[in-house]
Amino acid sequence: MKKTNQGLKIICLNRKASFNYFFENFLEAGIVLKGSEIKSVREGKVNIADSYAVEKSGEIILINSHISSYKQASYSNHKPLDERKLLLNKKEINKLIGKMQRDGLTIIPTKMYFKKGKAKIELAIAKGKKQFDKRAVKKKRDWNRDKARYVRKTS
């Protein structure tokens, strides 16, 4: 876990998301967690790499996020791949649902962190990249790496 200057304690990042999606904008949401889940989150045993959010009966639900089981919870433990409700205003939810249906965008979590002791998740409204976009990003990254090598060798 890494502490940033705004008092945010970052639990986990979704680095793969920026490679697979173009981000339009970001928003912060709370997340409903059980007792054993928050204990695992505090230990940093979270993975949001393959997760995404969908709308179910007027609520935004986080799917495929992995929070490891908490060893000391015994019988009251949670399922690691449970669906988790995200806490947003009704206006924000309606805006997200509209963008998902109209523009064909998706909601991807980019990072999970603690803010004033509460677990928060940063969501990105994103559009999927095509294969040629991903290749272009890789090519540009490789070229920048090679360029830095050439500059180091010549100076």
HEC string for 79-95: CCCCCEEEECCHHHHHH
In this structure, how many other beta carbons lie within 10 angstroms of the beta carbon of residue 141?
11
Contact predicate 57/97, CB 8 Å? no
Domain count, the chain: 1
State CA 79 to chain mean position distance.
Answer: 19
pTM for the whole structure: 0.77
pLDDT tens per residue across all 155 residues of the chain = 666 556 778 888 888 888 888 888 899 999 998 888 888 888 888 888 889 888 888 889 999 988 888 887 777 787 778 888 999 999 988 888 888 888 878 899 999 999 888 899 999 998 888 888 889 888 998 999 988 988 888 87
Instruction: Indicate whether 138 belongs to any domain.
Output: no
Instruction: Indicate whether 57 belongs to any domain.
Output: yes
CATH assignment of the domain containing 120: 2.40.280.10
Instruction: Indicate whether 104 belongs to any domain.
Output: yes
Domain that holds residue 37: 2-129
